[in-house]
């Protein structure tokens, strides 16, 4: 991206050099607000670091499974609403109206589906990661490894690089910095934040950042409506927001007639209504019900009722983006039509450096033009909060998958120390790979960042959704059916995705000469087709091969989630006391090895909370500097003599109970009915 041509802009074609105006830069009071924001976040992060033992797998990756409903719900919302949402959703509103908000309202239903349907299965199975669930459900490791690699692939292409690009573009417009310099600075803070804090720090700071995002975005919404003249002015002004410079004899720059409708023409629209109902729901089910980033937050809840409460809070908060992000994006088109809705490629390149369109600058333009000093700094904090909350969540979940599903598969005897170190180093690897993908994101989907995210999702996520759906609700599904359904479904999806990159959608003044599968099959319809293909393969192959073993079904499906937990075998105390220290040590090592093999094939194993730091190797005393560094990274080790194998370990505490207190269960169920009613009303009103 040519950052020297990225001014905030005026209605006339700008000169190649960026303008310097009072509203285009941050002043001292804005910088002070930003500093206060960072101090607040660091304080919350430091406080949360003191509350959790980060030197254990359970403490670092699942926050000790001790979170209450409000930080879980806030973290679900903050992890979902990244800077890509602020930039991309406002850009989609400016370009094509409210259609894309259907993704958010669909998400309201799916996050409730997670809390009431999928999460009880995951809790009863006692898993840490989603690929681990498939390993226990189907047996073997190939499906687990395949899915782990796919998840990391999806995170890089549709999450990390998009959020980095969106946040950096906002900073570029505000400070006139080079976009890659902005990316490096943002990632330096975010990577440090994730590596040292673990999931507990991520969740608690997400809660603080949610409050900041809501406050800032609602303030900007108020300024936007005041500037445009109210609701009626928005409804009347948007259809007339046509740029003065357009390509002759084309539809370039003309607002859609159905801009204020969610359900649109099934053949000729950008978001056909059958695809919105079915094709949109299947990838959304993957994101909200089987994506590691989302499920990991719910698994950190102390009880199932608290996890359900977190889903409810997230669902209620999902109403806000329509009013606080999408409608201001549409207002931005009315106020700055020639810039935000530019329709001439050369002019767009001068305005924002992107010849395919500048609609993604809509939100940043409002911030820099409408807000007074101080509030601009607050909105910069909001954008950075959105970026950091989503990236820290993705980084933590990605390192969880890589460490627990990939690294541990090849190094089954890896120590706790090694797993903690690998998880932290992998974050840095993700950062480098994601930066390299930014130029592709920048040029995709006509400048509509949000639509880019969703179109890629429909090519990769439906096969995974079907495999999880069948695994959770059809006991006859076996490993061969799941693997080949996933493989063939993803092969078909990747072919479509590659065709999309080879034959990009034509601009409004160009002839559409793409292959028929791209020209006539909308990506939401393709999502339905892909799901059907995967479903057929899973069913046919499963029926043609052997049935799953009982241990691959018990406590791993909806119908078997209440099966009794088989207790682990323990050595009798009398026998234990008659053996030598050497024999006990040898037997312990053999038991650990067998236990790992048994856990791989036994779906009845319940996840236990344990003080995993007992496996850390003993070391001699270090300097205070080294000790402080270890503490900062949560890499604490026990002193010599703490790991006495003669002392019998304390009994494990099971954490896979589905029990709920009757009063709490009643409260969350009543709120479920209320939330579903609200969702049905707003979708019906704007349909």
**175 burial level (CB within 10 Å; 0-12, 13-18, 19+):** middle
- Region 562-585: mean pLDDT is 51
Cβ neighbors of 595 (< 8 A, separation 6 or more) are: 568
Q: Is 639 helix (H, G, I), strand (E, B) or coil?
A: strand
Round to whole Å and give the CA distance between 668 and 664.
6
CA 544 vs. chain centroid, Å, equals 36
How large is the average pLDDT for residues 530-535? 96
Write down the pLDDT at residue 346. 85
Lowest mean pLDDT among 16-25, 146-155, 620-629: 16-25
Find all residues with CB under 8 Å of 550, minimum gap 6, and list them.
none
pLDDT digits (tens, 9 = 90+) for 306-352: 999 999 999 999 999 999 999 999 999 999 999 898 888 888 888 87
- Please give the pLDDT value at position 84: 73
pLDDT, residue 336, reads: 93
Give 66's pLDDT tier (boundaries 50, 70, 90): confident
Domains of the chain and any CATH numbers: 3-246+267-438+666-686 (1.20.1730.10)
In the structure, what pLDDT confidence band is assigned to residue 569 with cuts at 50, 70 and 90? very low
Give the range among 40-54, 248-262, 576-590 with minimum mean pLDDT: 576-590
pLDDT band at 382 (very low <50, low <70, confident <90, very high): confident
Whole-model pTM: value is 0.79
Of 237-241, 450-454, 508-512, the poorest mean pLDDT is in 450-454
Position 379 confidence tier, pLDDT thresholds 50, 70, 90: confident
Residues shown for the chain: 687
* DSSP code at position 318: T
Q: Which has the closest alpha carbon to 375: 27, 21, 10?
A: 27
For residue range 17-52, what is the model confidence (pLDDT) as tens digits?
333 333 446 788 888 888 888 788 778 777 776 666
- Collapsing DSSP to helix, strand or coil, 621 comes out as coil
What's the confidence (pLDDT) of residue 462? 93
What pLDDT is attached to residue 582? 43
Q: Considering only residues 468 and 38, tell me which one the structure prediction assigns the higher pLDDT.
A: 468
Answer yes or no: is pLDDT of 589 > 80.
no
* C-alpha to C-alpha distance for 530 and 278, rounded to whole angstroms: 12
- CB neighbours (10 Å) of residue 437? 16
pLDDT of residue 73: 92
pLDDT at res. 611: 43
pLDDT of 633 > 60? The answer is no
Buried residues in 124-157 as b, exposed as e (16+ CB within 10 A): bbbbbbbbbbbbbbbbbbebbbbbbebbbebbbb
Among 172-186, 326-340, 487-501, 503-517, the minimum mean pLDDT is found in 172-186
Q: Which of 249-253, 669-673, 678-682 is predicted with the least confidence, judged by mean pLDDT?
A: 249-253
* 393 against 21, higher pLDDT: 393
Taking alpha carbons only, the member of 634, 648, 651, 677 closest to residue 57 is: 634
According to the model, what pLDDT value does residue 238 have? 94
Residues 6+ apart with CB under 8 A from 405: 129, 131, 132, 135, 144, 145, 147, 148
Strand, coil or helix: 528: helix
What one-character-per-residue DSSP string does 104-162 give?
HHHHHHHHHHIIIIIHHHHHHHT-SSHHHHHHHHH-SSHHHHHHHHHHHHHHIIIIIHH
pLDDT band at 387 (very low <50, low <70, confident <90, very high): confident
Residues 91-110 have pLDDT tens digits of: 999 998 999 899 999 999 99
Residue 397 sits at the vertex; the CA angle it makes with 305 and 38, to the nearest 5 degrees, is 90
Return d(Cα 157, Cα 170) in angstroms, integer: 20
- If you average pLDDT over each of 494-503, 534-543, 634-643, which comes out highest? 534-543
Q: How far apart are CA 69 and CA 72, in angstroms?
A: 5
| Token representation of residue 652 | 């494990």
Q: What's residue 627's pLDDT?
A: 63
The pLDDT value given to residue 361: 86
Residue with more model confidence, 415 or 477 = 477
Helix or strand or coil: residue 372? coil
Q: Which residue has the higher pLDDT, 176 or 334?
A: 334
User: Across the chain, what does the average pLDDT equal?
Assistant: 78
* Segment 472-498 mean pLDDT: 94
Task: Measure the CA–CA gap between 545 and 575, rounded to whole angstroms.
Answer: 45
Q: What was the pLDDT predicted at 483?
A: 95
- What percent of the chain shows pLDDT beyond 90? 32
Strand partners, 264: 272
């Amino acid at each position: 991206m040519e950052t020297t041509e990225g001014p905030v802009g005026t209605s006339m074609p700008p000169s190649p050099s960026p303008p310097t105006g009072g509203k285009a830069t941050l002043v001292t009071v804005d910088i002070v607000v930003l500093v206060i924001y960072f101090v607040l976040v660091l304080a919350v992060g430091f406080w949360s670091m003191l509350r959790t033992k980060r030197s254990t797998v359970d403490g670092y990756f699942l926050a000790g499974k001790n979170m209450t409903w409000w930080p879980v719900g806030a973290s679900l919302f903050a992890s979902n609403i990244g800077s890509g949402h602020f930039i991309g959703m406002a850009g989609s509103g400016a370009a094509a109206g409210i259609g894309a908000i259907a993704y958010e309202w669909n998400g309201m239903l799916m996050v409730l589906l997670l809390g009431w349907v999928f999460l009880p299965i995951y809790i009863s199975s006692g898993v840490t990661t989603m690929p681990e669930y498939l390993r226990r459900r189907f047996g073997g490791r190939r499906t687990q490894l395949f899915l782990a690699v796919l998840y990391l692939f999806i995170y890089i292409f549709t999450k990390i690089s998009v959020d980095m690009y969106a946040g950096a573009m906002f900073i570029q417009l505000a400070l006139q910095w080079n976009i890659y310099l902005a990316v490096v600075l943002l990632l330096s803070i975010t990577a440090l934040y994730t590596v040292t804090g673990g999931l507990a720090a991520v969740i608690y700071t997400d809660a603080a950042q949610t409050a900041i995002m809501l406050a800032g975005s609602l303030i900007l919404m108020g300024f936007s409506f005041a500037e445009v003249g109210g609701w009626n002015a928005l409804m009347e002004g948007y259809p007339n927001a046509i740029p003065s410079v357009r390509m002759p004899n084309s539809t370039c720059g003309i607002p859609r007639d159905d801009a204020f409708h969610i359900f649109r023409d099934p053949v000729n629209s950008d978001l056909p209504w059958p695809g919105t109902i079915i094709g949109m729901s299947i990838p959304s089910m993957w994101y909200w019900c089987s994506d590691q980033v989302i499920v990991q937050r719910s698994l950190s809840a102390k009880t199932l009722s608290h996890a359900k409460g977190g889903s409810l809070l997230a669902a209620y908060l999902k109403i806000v983006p329509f009013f606080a992000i999408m409608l201001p994006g549409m207002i931005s088109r009315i106020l700055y039509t020639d810039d935000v809705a530019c329709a001439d490629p050369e002019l767009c390149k001068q305005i924002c450096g992107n010849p395919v369109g500048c609609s993604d600058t809509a939100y940043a333009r409002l911030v820099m033009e409408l807000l007074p000093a101080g509030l601009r700094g607050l909105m910069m904090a909001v954008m950075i909060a959105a970026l950091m909350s989503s990236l820290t969540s993705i980084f933590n979940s990605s390192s969880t998958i890589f460490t627990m599903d990939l690294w541990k598969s090849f190094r089954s005897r890896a120590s706790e120390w090694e797993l903690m170190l690998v998880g932290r180093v992998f974050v840095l690897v993700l950062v480098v790979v994601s930066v390299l993908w930014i130029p592709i994101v920048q040029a995709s989907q006509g400048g509509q960042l949000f639509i880019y995210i969703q179109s890629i999702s429909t090519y990769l996520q439906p096969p995974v959704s079907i495999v999880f759906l069948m695994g959770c609700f059809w006991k006859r599904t076996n490993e061969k059916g799941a693997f080949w359904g996933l493989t063939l479904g993803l092969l078909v999806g990747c072919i479509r995705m590659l065709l999309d990159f080879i034959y990009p959608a034509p601009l409004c003044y160009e002839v559409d000469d793409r292959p028929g599968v791209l020209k006539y099959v909308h990506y939401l319809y393709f999502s339905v087709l892909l799901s059907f293909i995967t479903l057929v393969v899973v069913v046919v192959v499963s029926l043609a091969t052997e049935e799953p073993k009982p241990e691959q079904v018990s406590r791993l499906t909806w119908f078997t989630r209440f099966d009794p937990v088989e207790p682990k075998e323990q050595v009798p105390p009398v026998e234990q006391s008659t053996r030598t220290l050497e024999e006990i040590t040898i037997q312990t090592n053999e038991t650990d090895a067998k236990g790992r093999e048994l856990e791989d094939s036994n779906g009845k194993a319940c996840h236990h909370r344990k003080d995993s730091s007992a496996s850390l190797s003993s070391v001699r005393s270090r300097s205070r500097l080294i000790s402080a560094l270890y503490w900062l990274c949560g890499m604490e080790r026990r002193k010599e003599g703490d790991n006495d194998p003669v002392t019998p370990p304390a009994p494990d505490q099971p954490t896979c109970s589905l029990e709920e207190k009757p009063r709490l269960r009643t409260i969350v169920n009543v709120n479920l009915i209320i939330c579903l009613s609200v969702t049905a009303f707003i979708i019906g009103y704007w349909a």
